């Protein structure tokens, strides 16, 4: 069978509130982008927070109407397992009606095994790097800083989460990685390159767009961090660099996000500097980006760094670590540094503070790059990945069948 966009029937399994914050927003935008690209979508979310495009079929697993099974009742891992169990049972009745199964972490093992038995190719989303790498990287930096992560922190080392996700890594046909950095963390663990497929995330150009403001040399730089201010994000590297740069004398460093209390306490003296403003959680991040010159994201671990492409669309230059999306090209549309390299971050901030022509060129580079990193573009890319997965599956089926006979899907 010759596959085309309109013939790809996708079962999309997501165990959380589709359309809520963070990865729930990412998954919702993926669904929107896939629908725009022409995929035939059957979506099994835990619950639905925002509407999806017409034509997308939705069947929730953990909610009925306004009633939803709260994670606190069963516990997070049991709730995720329940979602997985429900999707796997539903999949049993869909043999011959689904071409590819798209799953998300910690809620996929039974679904992946069922799909394997039914001969349906599977992909597992990797919104971050390899889980073991992420745990170890954050744990090492927290120890260096003298910070004890609370047990409910998402990067607190959880053996049960790691064990389940490593089983999922083995069970899926393909791992969906959104960056070269994420892919490398799997290659470093011995995964075959053929098991890793590259896609990307995007930004909403209706929310993130540039202003006509131009940063000249008559005022100080405005630097923005947007997101959860935690050890993983490396905000402390940016703060140290900022305070070592002359840019802090007449510029502003804005932090739009909540702080882990122990993290805020550890760097209280830096946060108290008059050039630094901790804004807390904000709902006006697009406007903040439009009015900022630089977006800093010096992460020690990332799967993609969604705020980077949102910043590009806003005309705000990403100043990021190598862990962030590889769509950030050093000296083209961003400035990139090695993880934890405070002297490099200091030099980059200082250079942009002093060279406003360079600042303008990099901003132009952001705006040139932006059309290729929207959620619409990401949806088209993901659909192309599905097609590649199906072609590989068909190729393998032909060569594994008796006498190489053609296998029809």
- CA dist., res. 51 & res. 60, Å (int): 13
Are 385 and 366 in a shared domain? Answer: no
Does a structural domain hold residue 213?
no
The reply to whether 259 and 195 lie within a common domain is no
91 falls within a domain: yes
The pLDDT assigned to 179 comes to: 96
Are 298 and 259 in a shared domain? yes
Please tell me whether residues 309 and 392 are part of one structural domain. no
Give the model's pLDDT for residue 1: 38
Q: What is the pTM of this model?
A: 0.92
Instruction: Clarify whether residues 261 and 180 are in a common domain.
Output: no
What CATH code is carried by the domain that includes residue 399? 3.40.50.2000
pLDDT at 403: 45
Q: How many CB atoms lie within 10 A of CB 312?
A: 31
pLDDT in tens, the chain (409 residues): 345 555 799 999 999 999 999 999 999 999 999 999 999 999 999 999 999 999 999 999 999 877 788 777 889 999 999 999 999 999 999 999 999 999 999 999 999 999 999 999 999 999 999 999 999 999 999 999 999 999 988 899 999 999 999 999 999 999 999 999 999 999 999 999 999 999 999 999 999 999 986 655 578 999 999 999 999 999 999 999 999 999 999 999 999 999 989 999 999 999 999 999 999 999 999 999 999 999 999 999 999 999 999 999 999 999 999 999 899 999 999 999 999 999 999 999 999 999 999 999 999 999 999 999 999 999 999 999 999 999 998 877 654 545 444 333 3
d(Cα 52, Cα 293) in Å, to the nearest integer? 34
Q: Indicate whether 359 and 381 sit together in one domain.
A: no
The 8-class DSSP code of residue 149 comes to P
Look up residue 209 and give its two tokens. Answer: 């767009």
pLDDT, residue 258, reads 93
pLDDT at 214: 61
Token pair of 214 as six digits: 């131009």
Domain that holds residue 191: 5-202+375-404
Confirm whether 215 is domain-assigned.
Answer: no
- The pLDDT, as a whole number, for residue 213 is 67
Do 171 and 285 lie in one domain? The reply is no
DSSP state for residue 10 in the 8-state scheme: E
Say if 208 falls within a structural domain.
no
Rounded distance between C-alpha atoms, residue 99 and residue 9, angstroms: 5
* Tokens linked to 9: 């029937």
Contacts of 202 (CB under 8 A, 6+ apart): 29, 33, 309, 373, 374, 375, 376, 377, 378, 379
Overall number of domains in the chain: 2
Residues 6+ apart with CB under 8 A from 310: 203, 204, 208, 285, 286, 289
- Together in a domain, 334 and 264: yes
pLDDT at residue 409, rounded to an integer: 36
Q: Do residues 382 and 349 both lie within one domain?
A: no
How does DSSP assign 309-362, residue by residue? HHHHHTT-EEEEETTS-TT--BTTTBEEE-TT-HHHHHHHHHHHHH-HHHHHHH
DSSP secondary structure of 17-70: EETSSTHHHHHHHHHHHHHHHT-EEEEEEEEESS---TT-EE--SSEETTEE--
Measured torsion, CA atoms of residues 286, 338, 328, 306, in degrees rounded to the nearest 10 = -40
Q: How far apart are CA 44 and CA 149, in angstroms?
A: 33
Residues 325, 382 within the same domain: no
For residue 277, give every residue at least 6 positions away whose Cβ sits within 8 Å of its Cβ, in sequence order, or none.
Answer: 252, 253, 254, 255
CA distance linking residue 118 with residue 96, whole number of Å: 9
Structural domain includes residue 209:
no
Shared-domain flag, residues 255 and 147:
no
């Amino acid at each position: 069978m010759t596959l085309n966009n309109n013939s790809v029937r996708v079962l999309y399994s997501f165990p959380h509130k589709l359309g809520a914050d963070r990865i729930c927003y990412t998954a919702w935008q993926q669904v929107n982008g896939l629908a725009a690209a022409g995929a035939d979508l059957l979506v099994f979310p835990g619950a639905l927070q925002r509407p999806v495009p017409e034509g997308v079929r939705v069947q929730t697993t953990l909610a009925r109407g306004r009633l939803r099974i709260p994670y606190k009742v069963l516990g997070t891992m049991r709730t995720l397992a329940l979602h997985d169990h429900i999707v796997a049972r539903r999949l049993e009745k869909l043999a011959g009606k689904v071409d590819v199964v798209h799953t998300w972490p910690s809620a996929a093992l039974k679904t992946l095994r069922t799909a394997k038995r039914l001969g349906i190719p599977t992909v597992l989303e990797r919104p971050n790097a390899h889980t073991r790498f992420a745990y170890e990287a954050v744990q090492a930096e927290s120890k260096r800083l003298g910070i004890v992560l609370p047990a409910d922190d998402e990067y607190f080392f959880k053996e049960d989460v790691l064990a389940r996700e490593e089983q999922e890594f083995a069970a899926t046909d393909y791992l969906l990685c959104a960056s070269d950095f994420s892919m490398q963390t799997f290659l470093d663990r011995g995964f075959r390159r053929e098991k890793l497929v590259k896609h990307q995330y995007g930004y909403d150009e209706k929310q993130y767009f540039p202003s006509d403001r131009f940063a000249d040399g008559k005022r100080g730089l405005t630097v923005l961090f947007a997101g959860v201010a935690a050890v993983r994000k490396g905000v402390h590297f940016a703060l140290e660099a900022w305070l070592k740069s002359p840019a802090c004398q007449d510029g502003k460093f804005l932090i739009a996000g909540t702080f882990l209390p122990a993290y805020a306490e550890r760097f209280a003296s830096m946060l108290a500097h008059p050039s630094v403003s901790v804004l807390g959680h904000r709902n006006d991040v697009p406007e903040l980006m439009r009015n900022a010159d630089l977006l800093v994201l010096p992460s020690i671990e990332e799967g993609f760094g969604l705020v980077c492409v949102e910043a590009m669309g806003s005309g705000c230059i990403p100043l990021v670590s190598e862990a962030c999306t590889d769509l950030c090209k050093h000296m083209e549309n961003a400035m990139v540094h090695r993880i934890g390299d405070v002297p490099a971050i200091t030099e980059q901030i200082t250079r942009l503070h002093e060279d406003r022509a360079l600042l303008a060129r990099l901003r132009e580079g952001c705006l040139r790059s932006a059309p290729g990193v929207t959620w619409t573009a990401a949806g088209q890319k993901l659909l192309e990945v599905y097609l590649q997965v199906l072609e590989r599956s068909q190729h393998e089926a032909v060569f594994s069948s008796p006498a190489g006979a053609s296998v029809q899907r």
